[in-house]
């Protein structure tokens, strides 16, 4: 009996020690990211003062960009969002919409609205996808940038994106969701990191060569393989013909929680990682990629539930395997507005998929973890993702069970427990509030401080109302991956931008 008691005491001390070290290290990492983010955003603002984007618009040397947006049963928003993509301010780009086997009238709406006709197209399948059926171009010159692909459903956004890459004409592609509304200057701003690196890519170094008398030209900088930007929730925003005319915070609680979460994740997280060239992933909602590297890395994994992180990971590992320096950049400006899940059923499906996708990426690319051959990816990005993204829901869930156990057995130290809970609660509130205020003071998206206070108020409710849902759905996603439960992407059930709400029998 004594030995059993000592054993469990040892287990308890180990667990409490682990959780203490884990929690303190997480707080320190978040604090470090906040500092890095502040520096990165300050540098970006300072450099932006000297950038004339009008010159880039007029430049014949601006690289071409293919905008790729897969669509599956997006009838409610498809016309508004295609129009949004067609109004981007950039000198050389094309828009590729992939109808990924929609069962509604998504394709028919596009055909009628944009005067599309079926055409012959030289399609080069460099990345394998589900069969492509038809290609459509418009008879109206106003829509000459538009290409619509009709293909069999690939069961994921990744398969549709790969078809778009195969059909793309330019060296860079921007992958987005067809439900997103993109700012007009998005391509200008997101191509800038690529061009900045390219401009300083070669230089003369060393002493003159004794054989030829000249200094040799060498490649001396990284190749930018991807760039991302801040993504926000468009629910309740005012939209006119695919353009955001008035930014408003979401009226419903669930999308409003997501808005707060997105601001914190992008303003503090992604910008902090970008400062030290350790961005873990580029959002699937808005990412600009180097097509050559993406194809060599194999494109998107058509079976993946986390195609965004998987793509960046494979591109980065390809570069490291070939001894090539690379960079993934983020810009802090909000360039993309997406319709967040409006109800719990859709939200649970999305977050369960994200949890399953994270487990999948950590499993497939486990060789990268703590592998010095993969540089920052192996020694910074993956350890952080494993410890503070993948393990966090497990640690929190077991922590709740442990708390319930020590309460039921009267072993809890209430004064210490209360102090700990209050400290963690206020730290979480502080981080979220600072991110929102920082974003507002820097970019001023909201017109009134009442709207800002309304978003900040969600930080006080998040730990007890929203975060437990995130933990539960993540654990659920892990379980689905372990048990190999059959799943697919499913339909988002859009409400539409600036339109009457669509009655949805499945909404909760």
- Does the pLDDT of residue 5 top 70, yes or no? no
DSSP 502: P
Q: What would the pLDDT profile of 84-106 be if each residue is shown by its tens digit?
A: 899 999 999 999 999 999 999 99
The number of beta carbons lying within 10 Å of the beta carbon of residue 230 is 23
pLDDT at 500: 43
- What is the structure's pLDDT at 274? 96
CA distance 251 to 233: 11
Q: SS3 helix, strand, coil % of the chain, rounded to 5?
A: 55, 15, 30
Examine the pLDDT at 503 and tell me if it is beyond 50: no
431-443 pLDDT, tens digit each: 999 999 999 988 8
Residue 220: pLDDT band (50, 70, 90) is: low
- Is residue 315 within 8 Å of 289, Cβ to Cβ? yes
> Is it the case that residue 507 has pLDDT exceeding 60?
no
Least confident of 3-17, 155-169, 219-233, 263-277: 3-17
What pTM value is reported for the model? 0.89
What distance in Å separates the CA atoms of residue 335 and residue 191, rounded to the nearest whole number? Answer: 13
Q: How far apart are CA 242 and CA 14, in angstroms?
A: 55
Give the pLDDT band (50/70/90) at residue 488.
low
Cβ neighbors of 437 (< 8 A, separation 6 or more) are 452, 456
Per-residue pLDDT tens for 262-302? 999 999 899 999 999 999 999 989 999 999 999 999 999 98
What span, in angstroms and rounded, lies between the C-alpha atoms of 255 and 507?
14
pLDDT in tens, 235-250: 999 988 778 889 999 9
pLDDT band at 496 (very low <50, low <70, confident <90, very high): low
Query: With pLDDT > 70 as the criterion, what percentage of the chain qualifies?
Result: 90
pLDDT single digits (tens) 71-83: 999 998 899 889 8
pLDDT at position 81, please? 85
Kindly indicate the confidence band of residue 207, based on its pLDDT and cuts at 50, 70 and 90.
low
Is residue 417 scored above 60 in pLDDT? yes
What mean pLDDT is predicted for residues 133-145?
96
Name the strands in the sheet holding 223-233, side by side, starting at the edge strand that comes first in the sequence: 116-119, 132-138, 146-151, 93-100, 65-71, 172-176, 286-290, 223-233, 326-338, 180-182
Sign of the Cα pseudo-torsion (232, 236, 239, 244, in order): negative
34 pLDDT more than 60:
yes
Region 458-482: what's the mean pLDDT? 96
> CA dist 153 to 11, 129, 150, 332, 338, Å?
50, 10, 9, 34, 23
pLDDT at 4 over 80: no
What's the whole-number mean pLDDT along residues 6-19?
A: 82
> Would you give the distance in Å from CA 52 to the centre of its chain?
27
> What pLDDT sits at residue 489?
56
Report percent pLDDT > 90 for the chain. Answer: 71
Residue 208 has pLDDT above 80, yes or no: no
In the predicted structure, residue 202 carries a pLDDT above the cut 60: no
State the pLDDT confidence band at 203, using cuts at 50, 70 and 90. Answer: low
pLDDT for res 454: 95
- The kind and range of the H/E element at 228 are strand 223-233
Q: Alpha carbon of 80 to those of 86, 178, 245: distances in Å?
A: 10, 9, 14
Number of helices (H) and strands (E), helices first, in the chain? 17, 14
User: Residues near 370 by Cβ (< 8 Å), separated by ≥ 6?
Assistant: 378, 379, 382, 383
State yes or no: pLDDT of 508 exceeds 60. Answer: no
Q: Report the pLDDT value the prediction gives residue 502, as an integer from 0 to 100.
A: 41
The rounded mean pLDDT for the chain is 89
Architecture of domain 1-206+219-368+396-499: Alpha-Beta Complex (3.90)
pLDDT above 80: residue 194: yes
Residue 1, pLDDT score: 43
Looking at residues 368-386, what average pLDDT do you find? 96
3-state SS class at 50: coil
> What is the structure's pLDDT at 2?
45
Q: Confidence band (pLDDT; 50, 70, 90) for 498?
A: low
């Amino acid at each position: 009996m004594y030995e059993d008691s000592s054993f469990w005491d040892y287990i308890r001390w180990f667990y409490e020690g682990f959780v203490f070290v884990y929690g303190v290290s997480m707080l320190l990492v978040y604090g470090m990211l906040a500092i890095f983010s502040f520096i990165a955003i300050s540098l970006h603002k300072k450099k932006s003062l000297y950038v004339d984007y009008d010159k880039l618009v007029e430049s014949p040397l601006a690289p071409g960009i293919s905008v790729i947006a897969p669509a599956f049963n997006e009838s409610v928003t498809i016309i508004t969002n295609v129009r949004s993509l067609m109004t981007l301010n950039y000198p050389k780009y094309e828009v590729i919409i992939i109808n990924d086997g929609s069962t509604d009238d998504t394709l028919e709406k596009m055909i009628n609205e944009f005067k599309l006709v079926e055409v012959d197209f030289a399609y080069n399948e460099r990345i394998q996808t589900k069969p492509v059926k038809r290609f459509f171009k418009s008879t109206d010159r106003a829509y000459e940038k538009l290409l619509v692909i009709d293909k069999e459903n690939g069961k994921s956004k990744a398969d549709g994106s790969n078809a778009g890459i195969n059909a793309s004409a330019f060296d860079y592609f921007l992958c987005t969701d067809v439900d997103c509304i993109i700012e007009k200057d998005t391509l200008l701003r997101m191509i800038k990191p690529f061009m900045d690196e390219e401009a300083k890519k070669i230089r003369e170094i060393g002493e003159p060569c004794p054989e030829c008398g000249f200094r040799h030209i060498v490649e001396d900088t990284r190749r930018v393989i991807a760039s991302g930007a801040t993504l926000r929730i468009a629910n309740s925003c005012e939209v006119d013909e695919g353009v955001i005319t008035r930014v408003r915070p979401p009226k419903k609680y669930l999308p409003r929680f997501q808005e707060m979460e997105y601001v914190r994740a992008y303003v503090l997280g992604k910008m902090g990682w970008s400062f030290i060239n350790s961005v873990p992933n580029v959002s699937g909602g808005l990412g600009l990629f180097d097509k050559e590297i993406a194809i060599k890395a194999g494109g998107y994994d058509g079976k993946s539930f986390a195609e965004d992180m998987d793509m960046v990971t494979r591109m980065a590992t390809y570069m490291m395997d070939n001894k090539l320096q690379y960079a993934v950049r983020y810009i802090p400006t909000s360039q993309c507005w997406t319709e967040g899940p409006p109800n719990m059923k859709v939200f649970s499906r999305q977050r369960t998929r994200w949890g399953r996708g994270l487990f999948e990426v950590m499993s497939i690319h486990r060789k990268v973890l703590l592998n010095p051959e993969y540089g920052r990816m192996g020694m910074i990005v993956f350890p952080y993702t494993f410890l503070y993204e993948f393990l966090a829901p497990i640690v929190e869930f077991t922590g709740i069970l442990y708390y319930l156990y020590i309460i039921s057995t009267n072993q809890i130290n209430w004064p210490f427990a209360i102090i700990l809970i209050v400290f963690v609660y206020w730290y979480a509130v502080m981080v979220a509030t600072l991110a929102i205020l920082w974003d507002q003071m820097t970019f001023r998206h909201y017109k009134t401080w009442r709207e800002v206070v309304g978003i900040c108020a969600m930080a006080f409710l998040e730990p007890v109302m929203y975060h437990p849902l995130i933990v539960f759905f993540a654990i659920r996603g892990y379980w689905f991956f372990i048990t190999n439960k059959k799943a697919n992407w499913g339909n988002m059930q859009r409400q539409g931008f600036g339109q009457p709400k669509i009655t949805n029998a499945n909404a909760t």
